[in-house]
Amino acid sequence: TVGNKIRDRIESSGEWVKKMNEIMRQTQIDSNLSFELEWKSKTAFTEEELDTKEIVRLFKIDAGQLADSDNQKLRQHFQSQIKKELEFNAQANDSYSNIIFKVLDYRNWFEFKLYYKRKTGEKKELTNKVFSILSGGERAKSMYVPLFAAVYAKLLNAKSSSLRLIALDEAFAGVDNVNIREMFNILSELNLDYILTSQSLWGDYDTINDLSICELIKDEIHKAVAVRHYRWSGHQLEILEKSGVYE
């Protein structure tokens, strides 16, 4: 039963990654810098342990049809994992149930790798070294594009009545206007609603059809904050009469 549940979670996660890549592909057709995600299985650390690919293969077989040699492989693998965790947590006094939870947490059996591709180049892994030489806008894209795709892919499994909402604090800080415009375009294409806070971002871009904007104005003398309301229609920013003052 445990094996079946883990297998179903792994397959579901694999489909989620596929959806993310399809979403990123569709939203980056005309982009100079595009991204792709891989969810790669980890290799075994010791002779007693199995590669993730082998574990998943064995989990796909009905438990009653597993050969004795396969059962032995699984026993040795998880015994080795449990032994390592027991030794590692000897001083931490962690409970045995928590150790079993860690050993059976399939998320630790895989690792994410992000790849990037320029229009005129080949697909390469986005390592920390490559990330450090990217421009500010390109760095932001490498974080926001997979994030938006992940949210959207997850929402595909939600009820139709569920909120499609994303909230970002200090949104797009350090990103140039060209890339911010593209980020808003991706949000629009994915039909995601959003609440963003920023010290400088207004959101008056042609890639946004409709946006409510609140400007907070601090009054240090009276220790109050005034709220000025605006509406962006996609081509014009207008101030609204409605406003408020909060002490």
The predicted-structure confidence for 40-71, as pLDDT tens digits, reads as follows: 888 887 788 888 888 888 888 887 888 999 98
Please state the pTM of the whole predicted model: 0.73
Distance set, CA 22 to CA 18, 92, 189 (Å):
6, 43, 13
- Does residue 92 surpass a pLDDT of 80? no
pLDDT at 175: 83
* pLDDT per residue as tens digits for the range 101-145: 888 999 888 999 999 998 888 999 999 999 998 888 888 888 888
Is the CB of residue 142 less than 8 Å from the CB of residue 131? yes
- Does residue 203 surpass a pLDDT of 70? yes
- Does residue 242 surpass a pLDDT of 70? no
Which residues, other chains included, contact 28 with Cβ-Cβ below 8 Å and sequence gap of 6+?
34, 35, 145
- Does residue 184 surpass a pLDDT of 70? yes
- Does residue 234 surpass a pLDDT of 80? yes
Spatial separation of the C-alpha atoms in residues 36 and 42, rounded to whole Å: 19
Closest by CA to 78, choosing from 40, 52, 48, 45, is 48
What average pLDDT score do residues 229-238 get?
92
Is the CB of residue 39 less than 8 Å from the CB of residue 22? no
- Does residue 245 surpass a pLDDT of 70? no
* pLDDT per residue as tens digits for the range 29-43: 878 888 999 998 888
**Reported confidence tier of residue 5, pLDDT bands at 50, 70, 90:** confident
What average pLDDT score do residues 144-164 get?
86
Spatial separation of the C-alpha atoms in residues 18 and 82, rounded to whole Å: 32
Spatial separation of the C-alpha atoms in residues 98 and 143, rounded to whole Å: 32
Rg of the chain over Cα atoms, rounded to whole angstroms, equals 24
User: Percent of the chain at pLDDT above 70?
Assistant: 97
- Does residue 244 surpass a pLDDT of 70? no
Query: DSSP string spanning 135-172?
Result: -HHHHHHHHHHHHHHHHHHHHTTS-TTS--EEEETTTT
**Reported confidence tier of residue 194, pLDDT bands at 50, 70, 90:** very high
